[in-house]
Structure 1
Amino acid sequence: MVNNINKQLNQFAPWQQVTFCLALAERMYPNYVLFCEGTEFAGQATFRKMLDLFWEKLIVKNAKVNFEIQSEHFESAIPNVEDYDMYGVYPALDACVVVTCAFNLMLNKQEDGEEAINASQTSIATVASFIEATCEEELSEEAIFADELMEQELAFQQELIYQLEQQRSPDLLKAVRKFARNQGVSNIGISLD
């Protein structure tokens, strides 16, 4: 299934790849917020602002956003894992990696699918490491991919790809954004409610 996802992402237009990355980051947002709340790390407002600017650029026809400057602002919202002795920094960092993939797509206009594939694999890795961290015994790759959270992750990415194969429109992008919010539940099952 992962190879299938990669193959489809390779064929996507740049707007589809950016939206894919953005949707994954939107879904991972609760992981980042929980980390900020638990550590008083001051990146939450910046992270949210970046997501909103990306959505605005995609949805609003002539929206002007300087992604080069925003990318520099975003660097302050990326936690350094060396500074924290807690698991939560890793899912937070992964969320930042996925946003960085969206920035790279916006700034470099790459069309080879590499950034979208990187975002996909980062989100999958977040789920895999969470499954391993919350399990007492060592798990095989098969066991990790059979876990309910991993099945949900892969199903989410597959559905996202399916939605992005539709004709681009503001309504489609708003629907994707709503879908990505996943009723406030992240890819590792964290809810802020």
Structure 2
Amino acid sequence: MSDANGGFRPRLRALDRRQGLAFMAALAERLRPNYLLYAEASEQGDPAALRVIHDLIWEALLVKEARIDFERQAEKLAEMEPPAEDESFGARRALEAVMALAACLDSLRGEAPEAALEVSELSRSGVQAFIELTEGEEDAQRLAALIRQHPLMDDEYDFQAAVLEAVEAPLDRGALKELRRLGRNGGVSNLGLTLD
């Protein structure tokens, strides 16, 4: 990510744990349609259970004294991963959605100081993989240029910058609801895909 916008990575690293969690939760919202599409196409996974875990993460952000067994949620989440032998494009993108939520749970357990940066890169690498798949460019230099200039990558940068800006502001109940709406992105994933 370019550092023209005030040093994106240093700003991401400077977030406190709650801000970082909010950033990841919003990015995970935008990854969720990829999981839903995979589950629908493959009849694998559990979108409803994934939603429940995501709702608990938002609840932990909203309610300081929320009593949630994050160890148990992490175990449940691990069961929602696509099968390891499924190396399809859809399975990889579904796995990214699961990994983003796993990073949120790790953060809630206090185990992941770099988690926000990892989820940022996870979302961006999914977009890159999608561009590589759909553009089919053999030449590495041309492909790199194509990825940098691709509208989906522009959209990814803009989205992450907007989320970062939102979490740097005070995160009261209203701001968190707005952040969640931003993350849902009208039901369109980071790959520009939607269930419709």
The SS at the match of 1:140 is: helix
The one-letter amino acid of 1:40's match is E
Distance in 2, matches of 1:96 and 1:141, equals 27
Deviation at 1:136, TM superposition (A): 2.5
Aligned twin of 2:134: 134
Matches within 5 A, 1:52-91: 52-82=55-85, 84=86, 86-91=88-93
Q: Say if 2:45 and 2:82, in contact at 8 Å, map to a contact too.
A: no
Distance in 2, matches of 1:41 and 1:174, equals 30
Deviation string for 1:106-165 (max 9, x for gaps)? 11254x4x1110000000000000000011223432220110000000100001010111
Aligned twin of 2:146: 143
TM-score, with structure 1 as normaliser:
0.93
Aligned twin of 2:106: 104
The one-letter amino acid of 1:95's match is A
Deviation at 1:61, TM superposition (A): 4.0
Q: Which runs of 4+ in 1 moved over 4 A?
A: none
Deviation at 1:186, TM superposition (A): 0.3
- Computed over aligned residues only, the root mean square deviation of the Cα atoms, in angstroms, reads 1.5
The one-letter amino acid of 1:68's match is E
Count of residue pairs brought into register by the alignment: 190
Q: Say if 1:60 and 1:170, in contact at 8 Å, map to a contact too.
A: no
After alignment, is 120-129 or 96-105 more displaced? 96-105
Distance in 2, matches of 1:85 and 1:131, equals 18
TM-score, with structure 2 as normaliser:
0.91
Instruction: Using the aligned pairs only, state the percent identity.
Output: 34
Distance in 1, matches of 2:107 and 2:87, equals 32
After alignment, is 18-27 or 133-142 more displaced? 133-142
